[in-house]
Structure 1
Amino acid sequence: MGPVEPHEYANLDAVGLRELIQAREVSVAEVEAAARRALEYAHAGLNALTLPLFEPALEHEPTGPLAGVPFVIKDSGPFARGVPFALGSRSIRGARTLVDQELMTRFRAAGLVALGQTTAPELGLSFSTEPVKHGPTRNPWALDRGAGGSSGGSAALVAAGAVPLAHGNDGAGSLRVPASCCGLVGLKPSRGRTPCGPYAGEMAFGHTVEFGLTRTVRDTAHLLDAVAAAPPVGEKYMAPPPVRPYIEEVRADPGRLRVAITTEAWSGVAVDPQVAAVAVNVGKVLEWVGHTLTEASPAVDPDALVEASMLGVVAAGAALLMAPRRPDRSLMEAVSRRVLAETEAFSALDVMAAVGAQHQVTRPIGLFFTRYDLLVTPTLGQLPAPHGTLGYDDPDHSVRSWLRRIFEYGPFTAPFNVSGNPAISLPLGQSREGLPIGVQLVAAYGREDLLLRVAAQLEQAAPWKHRRPPIYADLS
């Protein structure tokens, strides 16, 4: 065995690294050493880590299905016992948990080698990762652009080749938006597919789902197999179990599907022509490989979407207000302070109205997927935004005006957090400037199998593996 060469490490996905380890061509220690060098290099250029690298790495099962694969976790869960977290906020200090979140237990059992913690916007409530606490996380494709949010730090490090996969979560687009910005695969699983206990019976009234970001479809399938086992007893939501391992879906024929496509945002906000063109081209590719294509979309009421999304926001505010140590509001960013104020003023009638709005969004989406197997949309409405575009520290925002602002930037993702449908962003295009453009695929509830089949089909038809951003951890 010899040391892992930088170009070899950075260019291998998780499955490739695991195969090298199993073949005894490299050791786990050698892979970890390469990952540490790559993380330090990428962080220096991108500002994507919140803490020094863990020394030693967090405990993990040495015989798990992804044993020895380097990994990072986001600063908003999965909470690991003894590891401090701050939710991207200067106001949260010394917060730690005594036991693992269930998802962290599963990451450890899979054998993932957690080496660090990644940046997130304050409270995870933005589509950009620019917390005052840490400063902006930069996009490895263009340092003047954001990496997306809220899983922006994780996305930047995976895109830069520092780790092959990373944890993230998605409450309105927080996996898919950074996946689109950074040229990655970002799957938001169905509600109930991954666990959220023991600290929450549900996350953000069921809007938030935990998972991760990868560079390849097969890594996404392997990670889902590793963490989407039977839900723990007592989970509120339980997605239907898969009929076979997800990795087998990557090699399966999806059959002839009824595919709907839209590039028009439900709110009516303008979509960048370059972004729309990539989605249209993906539709043509799907038609070329044998699927039927129709211009159609579910009838999503944009006002109901904002009201329903208030549930996720006030859930974040309530979690802070009920915490043993209340945050220092003077140290919080402007929208976060508004979140706490509006959460305190939110009544039981407001909650019921928001739940009613949730059903207004969910029902037409459910009906839509009785007519179509797949929906294709852009992931974002725009190219990755320059730093400072979204303005989370703007004191003029109310919570609703803030939601409308981020939904102008990312108008296509949040409905499927409200409805619980699985959705995936794939890096299927680039702008004239060389910036990544993601395309979102959405399927009926519980049909991650179908998304993975089609994603693998598109990965083969329009591969992205050869693309490398200017900041990339090929240290050779």
Structure 2
Amino acid sequence: MTQTPIRTRVHAFGDDALGEHDAVGLAEEIRAGRISPLEAVDAAIARIERLQPVLNGLACADFERAREQARAAKPGERFFTGVPTLVKDNSDVEGLPTQQGCTAYVARPAVSDGDFAAMLRGQGLVNLGKSQLSEFGFSASAEFAVGDPVRNPWHTGHSSGASSAGAAVFVASGALPLAHANDGGGSIRIPAGCNGLVGLKPSRGRVPQDKALREMPVRIVADGVVTRSVRDTAAFLRESEKHYRNLSLPPIGDVTGPGRKRLRIAMVIDSVGDLHTDPQVADTVRDTAALLESLGHHVEQVDAPVPESFVEDFLSYWSLLATYLLTTGKRTLDPSFDRRLTDNLSRGLARHGLRKTYRLPKTLGRLALSKYVSARFFRQYDAALTPVLALPTPELGWLDPSQPYEVVIDRLIHLANFTPLQNATGDPGISLPMGADSDGLPIGVQITSSQGHEARLLEVAYELEAARPFRRIQDL
């Protein structure tokens, strides 16, 4: 069960090698010789060690190997040489276990880097270890049936979102300038929204992924990063494209500022069915729309372009993944796997998946066809503006996975009903911190576009960031 929440704001910004630099700024300092890679890595390790007892965002440390790599790094060799980061603990890193936020087995060290970790190293980033996630990434809050949750640095009694929670809390609190995140239903965008960060889910196939994710029946997961600035996200995607270029998508290139084109933007306030958006969140979306209009864009409110069947279809597919993991865990994860030690959410999803197996062909068919529905929508609009979450960031305990499955899944469906659509369609979406709730926690808005148009999202994000600079935790 979740322990009684601590209620405070924490960060690690200070007068050390990291200072208040974002990743691009830190990389510039390293190239100029004002900071060494080892100084940057040592400062990040010290900040993580200071914050870990409170935030609990670290799944596995690899500090000594990181220091060795920093000592051997040659500043200027690659764009991000010497910049410290973490890899999310559902992606393979040579020599480290891939535990996937689950205590039902003991993972063995990976024999090699997965494709994403290899690409990160290719950019010159120095990996300090693995960041924590919710069990198998199923929940939108990194809370556990046994052990402490991952806490939000803006208000440690609240959720940090999920499943890329560990990455987000260390970036938001200043321990790292950027960190790996991935997104199968909102898990880049949701923790970015909860923690006041920029989080862009790329188009399907844009960024290299580990083999298991590439082979999913509907490839809903995309890999990326969470950052504190738009330019960091843009630089990461630019450098990724140098490592791997998907020729079926238009190139992103080097996006360094706002675009000139004024866009036609659809604003969606409420999702399908009776899932209404909280007034604080709705006001933040409308306020962002007004800002966009003041910048010359055209915004009009529309109904959610989602069929009523989508919620159940996505839940059925999500549940299928749980069914697969829990029934094959001894073979696909580790012989030590004991499904009885998984949480109520994982087991409930697995049961749901088994009950809905007969619907699987139609479910997969409708999810696959969603990209064509989206393509028609984006022939009329250049982008869409929505909430990231339908509710303000919840307190810890609200999504505690030791509660009955029916309680947790109903709350998850209400909370996270905007982000899964882009996982089905393969479209990109970016979360931007454009507001705050009555407790001072960030509220994120999402801007989406059609497949391949990350550059358009980055240009709008730059424009919003310049017009209304994002709140900084160290200034409060």
Which residue of structure 1 lines up, in the alignment, with residue 343 of structure 2?
333
Over 3 Å counting, the alpha-carbon distance change for 1:204 and 1:30 in structure 2 is farther
1:381 and 1:412 in contact (8 A); partners too: yes
Equivalent residue for 2:36? Answer: 27
Match of 1:40 among 46, 49, 62: 49
Q: Does 1:15 align with 2:28?
A: no
Alpha-carbon contact 2:317-2:353 (below 8 Å) kept: no
- Is the 1:334–1:395 contact (alpha carbons within 8 Å) kept by the matching residues of 2? yes
Partner of 2:197: 184
Deviation at 1:429, TM superposition (A): 0.9
Displacement, 1:251? Answer: 2.1
TM alignment of 1:43-58, pairs within 5 A: 43-57=52-66
CA RMSD of aligned residues (A): 2.4
Alignment deviations for residues 281-337 of structure 1 (CA, whole Å, 9 cap, x no partner)? 111111111111111244212432321343244235424515163520121111222
Q: 1:403 to 1:301 in 2, by over 3 A?
A: farther
> 1:473 — aligned with what?
none
Cα distance, 1:281–1:8 mapped onto 2, change above 3 Å: farther
Q: Which moved more, 1:94-103 or 1:183-192?
A: 94-103
Is the aligned partner of 1:450 residue 2:460? no
Cα distance change on mapping 1:299 and 1:39 into 2, 3 Å: same
Task: Give the aligned partner of residue 430 of structure 1.
Answer: 436
Q: CA deviation at 1:467?
A: 4.2
Q: Which amino acid aligns with 2:363?
A: A
Q: CA deviation at 1:362?
A: 3.5
Partners of 2:223 and 2:282 in 1: CA distance: 28
Structure 1 length-normalised TM: 0.89
Q: Is the 8 A contact 1:150 1:174 kept in 2?
A: yes
Does structure 2 conserve the Cα–Cα contact (< 8 Å) formed by 1:304 and 1:360? Answer: no
Alignment-derived partner of residue 461 in structure 1: 467
In 1, the alpha carbon distance for the partners of 2:217 and 2:404 equals 24
- After TM superposition, the structure 1 stretch with the greater mean CA deviation from structure 2, 335-344 or 16-25, is 335-344
Spell out the pairing of 1:199-278 with structure 2 (5 A cutoff): 199-203=212-216, 205-229=218-242, 231=244, 239-242=248-251, 245=253, 248-278=254-284
Q: Which moved more, 1:66-75 or 1:358-367?
A: 358-367
1:104 pairs with one of 117, 127, 147: 117
SS at match of 1:421: coil
Q: Deviations over 1:242-286 (max 9, x none)?
A: 0x52xx323252411111112112233221111111110111111
Residue 364 of structure 2 is aligned to residue 355 of structure 1: yes
User: Unaligned stretches of 5+ in structure 1?
Assistant: 471-476
1:474 equivalent in structure 2: none
Q: Name the CA shift for 1:468/1:254 in 2 (closer, same or farther; >3 Å).
A: farther
Secondary structure of the 2:141 match is coil
Alpha-carbon contact 1:257-1:374 (below 8 Å) kept: yes
Pair 1:421 & 2:427 matched? yes
Letter in 2 for 1:109: G
> Matches of 1:318 and 1:396 in 2, distance apart?
18
Tell me the amino acid that sits aligned with residue 389 of structure 1: W
Of residues 40-49 and 380-389 in structure 1, the stretch that sits farther from structure 2 once superposed is 40-49
Aligned length: 455
Match of 2:86? 72
User: Which deviations, in whole Å up to 9, do the C-alpha atoms of 1:43-98 show, x marking residues without a partner?
Assistant: 12211112244322185864221011110111111x11121121111112033321
Give the TM-score taking structure 2 as reference length.
0.89
Paired AA for residue 400 in structure 2 = G
Asked if 1:161 is matched to 2:174, the reply is yes
In structure 2, the residue matched to 1:372 is 381
- Shift in Å, 1:393: 2.5
TM superposition shift of 1:363: 3.4
Does the Cα contact within 8 Å between 2:81 and 2:125 map onto a contact in 1? yes
- Look up the equivalent residue of 2:295 and give its one-letter code: V
Shift of 1:171: 0.4
Where in structure 2 are there 5+ consecutive unaligned residues?
1-12
Cα 1:88/1:15, change in 2 over 3 Å: same
Question: Out of 387, 408, 414, which is 2:396 matched to?
Answer: 387
Structure 2 distance, partners of 1:17, 1:230, is 21
C-alpha distance after superposition, 1:414-462 (max 9, x if no partner): 1111111100000111123211010100011110010000000000001
- The percentage of counterpart residues that share the same residue type is 33
Aligned to 1:91: 104
CA distance in structure 1 between the partners assigned to 2:475 and 2:353 by the alignment: 41
Q: Residue 196 of structure 1 aligns to a residue in which SS?
A: coil
For residues 203 and 114 of structure 1, do their structure 2 counterparts lie closer, same or farther at Cα, with a shift above 3 Å needed?
farther
- Output the CA distance in 1 between the equivalents of 2:403 and 2:313: 21
